[in-house]
Amino acid sequence: MRSVLPRAVRDLSGELARWPGIGPKTAKRLAIHLLRQPRRAVARVADTLKSLHANVTLCTQCYNLAEQEICTICSDELRRREVLCVVESPLDVEAIEQAGSYDGRYHVLGGVLSPLEGIDAEQLTLQELFARLKREPISELILGLNPTVEGEATARYIVQALPDESIAITRLGRGLPTGGDIEFADATTLAAAFSGRTTLK
């Protein structure tokens, strides 16, 4: 079916429809919503989009999103140095931080092993994780990976690659819903997952 919307509206809705959770109809609605806003408000949105990459980087220690070379968590002297929680994405860090029941540091993998999607160990920050474990005084590694097939495979990979017996490897308790993401878990569930963590090695 041919769209009768002007080209600029179609272009914008085409871009928006690529975003997660946005279907073609919602994309058109959003584009028209923007068109109805004052120009200044739209310019603000455009500026925010343009500055996204300029003002966000990856922390050189934990690979979480950061505004400076070292993120606010890594540079916080009050956070425990001997506990490291491995997560898939910055959204997991965000959820755990919002829950407020963890005071160690993180390591963000940037994904999980997924042969189907062509994601192998090289594309994740696994080597960087192993280097940190050699370099930093870490006594417990908490695997905060989602209970999915890929999350489990990644957890197994880490356990097998770590012969160092001085580091205890634990995983979050099974309070998380099956296939459910840490990202969407509520504060109570996350607190229970941290306090009910089990030892793997």
Nearer to Zn ion, 144 or 176 (CB): 144
Nearer to Zn ion, 27 or 62 (CB): 62
**Helix or strand (DSSP H, E) at 11:** helix 7-16
d(CA 37, CA 24): 20
CB-count exposure of residue 128 (10 Å: 0-12, 13-18, 19+): middle
Site mask for Zn ion (CB under 5 A), range 74-93, x = bound: x-------------------
Asked if residue 191 binds Zn ion (CB under 5 A), the reply is: no
Residue 126 dihedral angles phi and psi, to the nearest 5°: -70, -45
The binder of Zn ion chosen from 12, 16, 31, 61 (CB under 5 A): 61
d(CA 170, CA 141): 6
Tokens standing for residue 95? 């959820």
The binder of Zn ion chosen from 59, 113, 129, 185 (CB under 5 A): 59
Query: Which of these ranges, 28-36, 61-69, 81-89, 180-188, lies near Zn ion under the rule CB under 5 A?
Result: 61-69
Asked if residue 96 binds Zn ion (CB under 5 A), the reply is: no
Give the interface with Zn ion as residue ranges (CB under 5 A): 59, 61-62, 64, 71, 74
